[in-house]
Amino acid sequence: MTKQPIQFMRPVTVFTTFSSGEANLICSRLNAAGLHAQVAHELSALSIEGYSLGAQGIAVQVPDDEAEQARELIDNPGTPLDEPPPNP
């Protein structure tokens, strides 16, 4: 049996904010939906005053194959993706 190489997904930023709380809330929501989200640049942004502006904020990132679904969840926070929209 041959070993298959480990393939890593490129992280894609799907949300950026200057608020640590907001970034962690979005990340938690994506994780609860089964996505592999992580918060990036948070420590740097909180360590040095004004750094978050220089780092262009705190980012929420997901693997590139989950980016479209993550953006859908962020853009439509009240509608779960697995439920059809209500009939008019």
* Per-residue pLDDT tens digits for 69-80: 999 999 987 755
**CATH code for the domain in which residue 29 is found:** 3.30.70
pLDDT over 80 at 82, yes or no: no
Buried b (16+ CB within 10 A) or exposed e, 33-47: bebebebbbbeebee
Whole-angstrom distance, CA of residue 49 vs CA of residue 65:
34
The pLDDT, as a whole number, for residue 49 is 66
Count of CB atoms within 10 A of residue 5's CB? 6
The pLDDT, as a whole number, for residue 51 is 58
Output the average pLDDT for the chain: 82
Between these two residues, 43 and 39, which has the higher pLDDT value?
A: 39
Domain extent, residue 70, equals 11-75
CA dihedral (70, 74, 76, 78) in degrees, to 10, reads: 110
The pLDDT, as a whole number, for residue 44 is 74
What's the rounded mean pLDDT across residues 55-62?
87
Residue 56 is assigned to a structural domain of this protein:
yes
Tally the domains of the chain.
1
